[in-house]
Amino acid sequence: MTMLTPDTTSHTTKQPASIVQGPRADGQSPVLRCRKITKRFGGLVAVDQVDFDVYPGETVALLGDNGAGKSTLIQMIAGVYRPDGGVIELDDQAVDIRSPLHARDLGIETVFQDLALCDNLGASENIFLGREIPGKAYGMLPGLNEAKMRAEAKAVLSELHINIRNLDAPVRTLSGGQRQATAIARAVYWKARLMIMDEPTAALGVPEQKKVLSLIETLKQRGVPVIVISHNMQDVFEVADRLFIMRRGRAVADLRAADTDANEVVRLMVG
Ligand SMILES: Nc1ncnc2c1ncn2[C@@H]1O[C@H](COP(=O)(O)OP(=O)(O)OP(=O)(O)O)[C@@H](O)[C@H]1O
Ligand SMILES: [Mg+2]
């Protein structure tokens, strides 16, 4: 056995080769294409030459044990970390995603493990954060069109059957599920090209979990591809079309949900 990654301190066992995904049978090209994407933290290779594609309208579950590199991978796609190597393409165009705001401008909406909303702002303001509708204050000064933003926020939330009584209440006063729902409403309203969710149901009660899962389904129906990280196998099999499994920074399997089951997935996760 040859050591392919001599700079790696943590990867001492033999791993399967990285998975190269080709064009799909129906000829569609991926919305997101990552090639040999790599991120190191000091001597640790958190994400090691991973190839990862997401196609239009599919929900992909990103799976792996704690520390497998899932959050690090999506944080490169979300502009939090710059990759140390590899290429990210959106709709066949190589992109250098400079910041989370830049990712949003590119149409990548992310719900992080520790959520990406502004706690002190209301649901409506969060939906329009960074993309406010201009208007006139006191009928003359340049300002924001608060009424229009509130009406639009109300419309998208009600369309998604999301119940938030006071759109101006700071989102920190909302439930976990309402906060997730606000982030999803933002993605729907702005027609995100890709939605990323890191453990969206982990901190939620059962009814709220169901709501988030049904919102993921709604995103799919609207053609928004979703990457979802979850440790909950039941959720995974409920929403995912495809399962992408990582182990110690490497991609180890890329399976259609219909072709596998929880036992096999766990086996692949732990190696
Ligand atoms: N900012 C950082 N600095 C140093 N090491 C980091 C940093 N972020 C992550 N790591 C390390 O990189 C590896 C991958 O971490 P990551 O958070 O991507 O895992 P994960 O698959 O999301 O795990 P979990 O399921 O527990 O959320 C881990 O070994 C972790 O300790
Ligand atoms: Mg994580």
Cβ partners under 8 Å of residue 119, min gap 6: 170, 171, 172
CA 142 to centroid of ligand 1, rounded, Å: 44
Ligand 1 pocket member 69 (CB < 6 A)? yes
What band does 49 get if pLDDT is binned at 50, 70 and 90?
Answer: very high
Q: Tell me the pLDDT tens digit for each residue of 112-129.
A: 765 666 778 888 888 888
Radius of gyration of the chain measured on its C-alpha atoms = 20
Ligand 1 pocket member 71 (CB < 6 A)? yes
Distances (CA, A) of 148 to 71, 151, 155, 174: 36, 5, 11, 22
Distance CA 197, CA 209 (A): 13
Task: Locate the ligand 1 atom nearest the alpha carbon of residue 199 and give its number.
Answer: 27
| Smallest-distance ligand from the CA of 81 | 1
Fold of 32-270: Rossmann fold (3.40.50)
What band does 260 get if pLDDT is binned at 50, 70 and 90?
Answer: very high
Ligand 1 pocket member 68 (CB < 6 A)? yes
Q: Which residues pair with 13 in a beta bridge?
A: none
Which amino acid makes up residue 254?
D
Give the start-to-end residue ranges of the domains of the chain. Answer: 32-270
| Smallest-distance ligand from the CA of 66 | 1
Q: Tell me the pLDDT tens digit for each residue of 172-187.
A: 888 777 888 888 888 8
Task: Locate the ligand 1 atom nearest the alpha carbon of residue 39 and give its number.
Answer: 12
Distance CA 186, CA 124 (A): 9
Torsional sign, CA 251, 252, 258, 260:
negative
Ligand 1 pocket member 64 (CB < 6 A)? yes
pLDDT reported for residue 160: 83
Q: What average pLDDT score do residues 226-249 get?
A: 95
Task: Locate the ligand 1 atom nearest the alpha carbon of residue 42 and give its number.
Answer: 4
pTM of the model: 0.84
Residue whose pair of structure tokens reads 């030459």 in the numeric block? 49
Q: Which residues surround ligand 2, an ion (CB under 5 A)?
A: 71
Q: What average pLDDT score do residues 226-234 get?
A: 93
Q: What is the dihedral of CA 168, 172, 173, 178, to 10 degrees?
A: 80
Q: What is the dihedral of CA 167, 168, 169, 172, to 10 degrees?
A: 90
Structure-block tokens of residue 8: 């790696």
Ligand 1 pocket member 200 (CB < 6 A)? no
Q: Are 59 and 48 in contact (CB under 8 A)?
A: no
Kindly state the DSSP code that residue 191 receives in the 8-state scheme: T
Structure-block tokens of residue 108: 């990548």
Q: Atom 2 (ligand 1): residue with closest C-alpha?
A: 41
